[in-house]
Amino acid sequence: MTRVLCVGECMLELTHLDSTTARLGVAGDTYNTAVYLRRVAHLLHAETEVGYLTGLGTDEYSAGIRTRWMAEGVTDRSLPVQDRMPGLYTVRVDENGERRFAYWRSDSAARTLFAGTDWAEHITGDLIHLSGITVQIASPSARRALSARLRKLRREGALVSFDTNYRPAGWDSPRTAADVMDRFAALADIVFASWDDETALHDSPTPDAAAHRLAALGPREVIVKTGADGAHLLTGSQLHHTPAAVPARVLDTTAAGDAFAGAYLAARITGTAPAEALTTAHQVAAVVVAHPGAITPEHVPLLPAG
């Protein structure tokens, strides 16, 4: 069995259905990846345990999040934080399916936990997945503890996956974001990035240039996403481009990149070659953008039949 642990912040999600009505869900970038990784691994008959590590409170909303994890088959690896509640964000989607967010998370349980360092010692597994948001909400001392923990786990044979997922509002400056994320990309075996992020942080002229820049940091697999154009994969000296799958419709792009990462990792766990795993990732992302919210209903097929 492959033990996967995703690390970050899981929040309450309010998706606007109209001007006065919203639907309550549970989401967050690395949590979304955990859900799609678990679902796709199951579809591919991979024996996995997918856990999630974050801080949660002892309130009814935190209990509801834990219940949702259980329903999704995600193992609860959360750590309790007294007198704190989960973060909250809202999603509004325009006519093109592009979303905009508003957040209430500055005093959340996850941020409180990640201000300290003890939580890093609870990270265990065969594959560890984290993101730019994970390290964004961690304090400088927590980042050092996390770095040390990841180095130790890699020496013991674990793999590390890192999704840059740059959100400018959460950083002191683009320079700080670029420096911190490069440090964690250098600790990873697999790195996911978007060309938009690489352009914003490093002024990368092309997706290929972005892939080569990231690969020079040390990861053995680099995937640079280019939206509807697809993704560029660099493994060793081999650069491969795969066009995106065409969705039935584009209703909501929330979590498309998270689902892409989860599907790619699930395929790689089964031994699927990187280029083929990229095709699986595109197929799943195309399904996700055709449905509202971060997490599709369980009955929605993520992969073509057969």
Exactly one of 163, 197, 252, 258 is catalytic; name it.
Answer: 258
In the Cβ-directed half-sphere of 282, how many Cα atoms lie within 13 Å? 23
Q: What is the 3-state secondary structure (H, E, C) of the chain?
A: CEEEEEECCCEEEEEECCCCCEEEEEECHHHHHHHHHHHHHHHCCCCEEEEEECEECCCHHHHHHHHHHHHHCCEECCEECCCCCCCEEEEEECCCCCEEEEEECCCCHHHHHHHCCHHHHHCCCCEEEEEHHHHHCCCHHHHHHHHHHHHHHHHCCCEEEEECCCCHHHCCCHHHHHHHHHHHHCCCCEEEEEHHHHHHHHCCCCHHHHHHHHHCCCCCEEEEECHHHCEEEEECCEEEEECCCCCCCCCCCCCHHHHHHHHHHHHHHCCCCHHHHHHHHHHHHHHHCCCCCCCCCCCCCCCCCC
Q: Is the separation of the CB atoms in 142 and 180 below 8 Å?
A: no
258 is catalytic: yes
* Alpha carbon distance 302, 306 (integer Å): 12
Q: Which amino acid is at 85?
A: M
Positions annotated as catalytic residues are: 258
